[in-house]
Amino acid sequence: MQVYIMRHGEAQNFVEQGSRDDSQRALTAQGKIEAKMMATWLQKMKISPMQVFVSPYIRAQQTCAIATALMQAAITTLDFITPAGDAKQVHDFIDGWCSEQLEATTEQEHSLLIISHMPLVSYLVAELTQSSNAPIFATAGIAHIDYDTEKMQGVLQRLVSPIELC
């Protein structure tokens, strides 16, 4: 199973937004550009996940809309993949989802994209790879994990950010 974990693009700060509600922060113009760059990278790398899980926060939803515009993936919003989400809970959820998918289909290679926030994305990479090092994500950055569904553990293959694509 190939797991891709993406942080949302750059978001407005609270002053620009005019509110203290973190869930309502939208992407900036720069954030939209970052999401488009990573969408192009996903397409160029022929990464087409069968499932996308996305945070309910506005900036993650906007990033998802841009990143998946050319994909045929099923998109599901999960209330527990917010900035304060629990990486262990998400890991357990992924393992359950993987088990269901492997039973339901005969396809050997599945892939999954998760679009969420710091610090959850960082902790989730550490959780899925059994690592004590949690990487720092640039906005719209994507981590690629080669995930062994039997061992319920993966190996971080790469971490790509929009600045690296310039």
Helix, strand, coil percent content, the chain, rounded in steps of 5 = 40, 20, 40
- Helices of type H across 11-75: 14-17, 29-44, 58-67
Q: Does residue 18 sit within a domain?
A: no
Strand order in the sheet with 111-116: 74-77, 51-54, 111-116, 2-7, 142-148, 153-160
Q: Does residue 37 sit within a domain?
A: yes
Domain count, the chain: 1
Residue whose pair of structure tokens reads 């939209």 in the numeric block: 32
pTM listed for this prediction: 0.95
Q: Which domain does 108 fall in, by range?
A: 2-11+23-164
pLDDT for 119: 97
Q: Does residue 138 sit within a domain?
A: yes
> Residue 107 — very low, low, confident or very high, per pLDDT cuts 50/70/90?
low
Q: Does residue 84 sit within a domain?
A: yes
pLDDT for 40: 95
Q: Does residue 97 sit within a domain?
A: yes
Share of the chain above pLDDT 70, in %: 96
- Per-residue pLDDT tens for 23-64? 999 999 999 999 999 999 999 999 999 999 999 999 999 999
Q: Residue 29's domain is classified under what CATH number?
A: 3.40.50.1240
Q: Does residue 16 sit within a domain?
A: no
Residue 2 near residue 155, CB atoms below 8 Å: no
